[in-house]
Amino acid sequence: MHNNPIVIYAIGGLGADSRVFDYLTLNVNLFCIEQILPIADESIENYTGRISKQIDTNKKFGLLGVSFGGILALELNKYVDPLFTILISSVSKSEDLPKVRVLFRKIGLLEILPRFMLKPPSILLKYLFGAKNVSLLKDIIRDTDPEYIRWALKKMMEWKFESDVDKVHLIHGSQDRLLPNKSSDSIVIQGGGHFMIVDNADEISESIHSIVSQYIT
């Protein structure tokens, strides 16, 4: 246990895997939210309502989300009132998602895509994620339910976020190919790709400490 009274509730990305947080060195207690399997075509609002039950709102806490987990962290603000929300390799508004999602949604790509194509080959994963720790990335993708990936991708394509969330902090990699940085307010990790939560864990940890220190009273 750490002396810092703030608890950070962390949410992983499409892999829904807590292993990406193992490389962080933090002076706060980190609790990984379990990303339960969604009900068939469940709305993102209903899903985040269900996982919000894992948060102890009687203690001081913040939220941290990576990639798709950042979207879930923003949506969780509709149910809980964190001290802060940290988004890593993610977006703070729906219009910052790649425009190609509109085309994919119109043609119903995810409805016709076979399960095996939801898990790209290693060489494509390495390129898209800019991953140095490719073996961990492969393990996470291998262990993830393809239908969770299909659901999460579909929700990203449909996502419209209109709520105005306060105290949001973005940490983004300068070389992120999946979700390029579009915010002028981001803490930029030079050379960081979409998997920088692992590959640049020391720099990410320092950035998190800098943000959390603003909320210690």
Query: What is the helix (H) or strand (E) element at residue 207, kind and residue range?
Result: helix 201-212
Cα separation of the two ends of the chain:
19
Q: Which residue has the tokens 């993708």?
A: 141
- Within-domain flag for 1: no
Q: What is the pLDDT of residues 80-90, one digit of tens each?
A: 999 999 999 99
* 50 lies in some domain: yes
Note the helical H segments in 52-179. 68-76, 100-107, 109-112, 122-129, 134-143, 146-158
Whether 2 is covered by a domain: the verdict is no
Q: Taking the complete model, does pTM exceed 0.85, yes or no?
A: yes
Residue 52 domain-assigned (yes or no): yes
Q: Residue 94: is its pLDDT beyond 60?
A: yes
Report the number of distinct structural domains present in the chain.
Answer: 1
Q: 105-161 pLDDT, tens per residue?
A: 434 444 544 454 455 666 767 766 777 888 888 888 778 787 888 888 888 888 888
In a domain, 132, yes or no: yes
| CATH at residue 16 | 3.40.50.1820
**What SS3 state is found at 7?**
strand
Which stretches of 22-137 are assigned E, i.e. beta strand?
A: 29-32, 61-66, 85-88
Residue given tokens 């948060």 in the structure block: 55
Chain segment 6-63, per-residue pLDDT in tens: 999 999 987 657 889 999 999 899 999 998 889 988 999 999 999 999 999 999 999 9
